[in-house]
Amino acid sequence: MLAPRAEYAADPDRSRGRRFAEPGSPTRSEFQRDRDRIVHCTAFRRLEYKTQVFVNHEGDLYRTRLTHSLEVAQIARSVARCLGLDEDLVEAIALAHDLGHTPFGHAGQDALNECMKPWGGFEHNLQSLRVVDELEQRYAVFDGLNLCFETREGILKHCSPANARKLGELGERFLAGRQPSLEAQVANLADSIAYDNHDIDDGLRSGLLSLEALAGIRLFGRHHDAALRAHPGLSGRRLIHETIRRMIGELVTDLIGETRRRIAEAGVRSIDQVREGPALAAFSPPMREQATQLERFLNAELYRHERVSAVMSRARAIVAELFERYRSDPALLPDEHRDRVSVLGERAIADYIAGMTDRFAVREHARLTGSPWNDPGAGVLGGASEAAP
Ligand code: MG
């Protein structure tokens, strides 16, 4: 299945470059350097304490943004290697794709977007780009990580036309309907393979999803039955993991096969042709349909489960209250952030809140309001399976 570097792969020697010119490295490719810069940055370490689906303190075994990002990177690299794409670039994109996430996952982002409506809103994906372009402070002569165009292009998965117009060459493709590199397309689909599968695992672990209900979902049911046929009597956690690893395997194999087919059909031989579109990385239509059925199920049964929703509405309130407190009294902010407010206004408050981990936001909210977290899901979501292997 392995392939040599393909002619349509992104080439680190022919990158469209960094925003600030830098001398090359004697030991690493430009995309390797990007991956390394991401792993060493502060926002990357914060991912450990940011919600994927379950708030960080609810249990030690649930995915966090960090372990999610590592799983995305693993899947993306496997696919990239088979397709002859640049593995360092897909890894860099995968590790950076969620750097802009607020505390408390999508609930936090929705709340912050609501607060920021009068000042251009808040998009976590755009914020990921803002982290690597502006917010990280690690280099003597520029803000941000000064990543290559190809890495930044991959990080920016989606973007409203209004924001795209402000982003120069990086925003062009959203206005012109063009595609990013295949490395970016693969990282994007690896993201969905990772969360569809780990959310099943976390959903079952939490007790919010049942095996019986999942068995009615074709992709899961098929592999669950196959695992049982291969290992009669298998049960519990081993059966779940045996099912999930088969699902990931099939999704990855399907993605590689369909993408190869589309590349051949389109006769694509360069990254420029890749960018002209249409999208080349894709699941086959039957697999797309099954993945969609699974995603609808997770949406209804897990992400909108009343217990998850109760925790998330508390999280939304925390973010909104933090925003209002800082806005009405910037003196509550640390010096550095207060100084930024005088230059950037509300955007600086959004940057500060978006950078918070779940537990920092909870502590900061308690400090400012005197009200503790008072977790409505406590004892239901958390703790139940801490001792399980
Ligand atoms: Mg993600």
- Distance from Cα 252 to the centre of ligand 1, integer Å: 17
For residue 68, report the distance from its CA to the centre of ligand 1, in Å: 7
251 inside domain: yes
| Residue 97: Cβ within 10 Å count | 28
Inside any domain, residue 383? no
CA–CA distance, 378 with 383 (Å, rounded to integer): 9
Distance 127 CA to ligand 1 centre (A): 13
Residue 143 CA to ligand 1 centre (angstroms): 25
CA of 29 to the centre of ligand 1 (A): 25
3-state SS class at 51: strand
What is residue 242's predicted lDDT score, i.e. its pLDDT? 97
Domain that holds residue 289: 28-307
**Radius of gyration of the chain measured on its C-alpha atoms:** 22
Distance CA 209, CA 308 (A): 12
pLDDT of amino acid 389: 34
Q: Residue 130 to residues 36, 179, 214, 347: CA-CA distances in angstroms? A: 18, 21, 38, 11
Q: Which residues of the chain have pLDDT under 50?
A: 378-389
Q: List, for residues 239-296, the tens digit of each pLDDT value.
A: 999 999 999 999 999 999 999 999 999 999 999 999 998 999 999 999 999 999 999 9
Per the listing, tokens 């008072």 go with 374
Report CA(332)–ligand 1 centroid distance (Å). Answer: 32
Note residues around ion ligand 1 (Cβ under 5 angstroms): 98, 191
Residue 316 CA, ligand 1 centroid: distance in Å: 20
Does residue 147 fall inside a structural domain?
Answer: yes
Cα 26 to ligand 1 centre (Å): 32
CB proximity list for 132: less than 8 A, separation 6 or greater: 38, 41, 96, 99, 144, 145, 147, 151, 152, 155
pLDDT at 308 (0 to 100) = 86
Q: Is-contact 127 381, C-beta < 8 A?
A: no
Ligand 1 center from residue 118 Cα (angstroms): 27
Q: Ligand 1 mean position to 295 CA, how many Å? A: 14
pLDDT at 22 (0 to 100): 95
Contact 189, 282 (CB under 8 A): yes
Q: For residue range 85-126, list pLDDT tens digits in order.
A: 999 999 999 999 999 999 998 899 999 999 999 999 999 999
For residue 65, give the CATH number of its domain.
1.10.3210.10
For residue 98, report the distance from its CA to the centre of ligand 1, in Å. 6
Expressed in angstroms and rounded, the spacing between residue 188 Cα and the centre of ligand 1 is: 8
How far does the centroid of ligand 1 lie from the alpha carbon of residue 240, in Å?
22
Answer yes or no: are the C-beta atoms of 330 and 100 closer than 8 Å: no
| Its pTM surpasses 0.75 | yes
Residue 9 lies in a domain: no
The answer to whether residue 131 sits within a structural domain is yes
Q: Tell me how far the alpha carbon of residue 64 lies from the centroid of ligand 1, in angstroms.
A: 10
Separation of CA 228 and ligand 1 centre (Å): 31
Domain count, the chain: 1
Alpha carbon of 110 to ligand 1 centroid (Å): 16
pLDDT in tens, 230-254: 999 999 999 999 999 999 999 999 9
Q: Residue 56: what pLDDT?
A: 65
Distance, CA 97 to ligand 1 centroid (Å)? Answer: 6
Q: What is the pLDDT of residue 297?
A: 97
Distance from the alpha carbon of residue 370 to the mean position of ligand 1, in angstroms: 33
C-alpha separations of 361 from 56, 67, 146, 265, 331 in Å: 12, 20, 28, 50, 17
* C-alpha 95 to ligand 1 mean position (Å): 9
Report how far ligand 1's centroid is from the alpha carbon of 17 (Å). 26
Torsion of Cα atoms, 278 then 281 then 286 then 290, to 10°: -120
* Span from the CA of 84 to the centroid of ligand 1 (angstroms): 23
CA of 99 to the centre of ligand 1 (A): 9
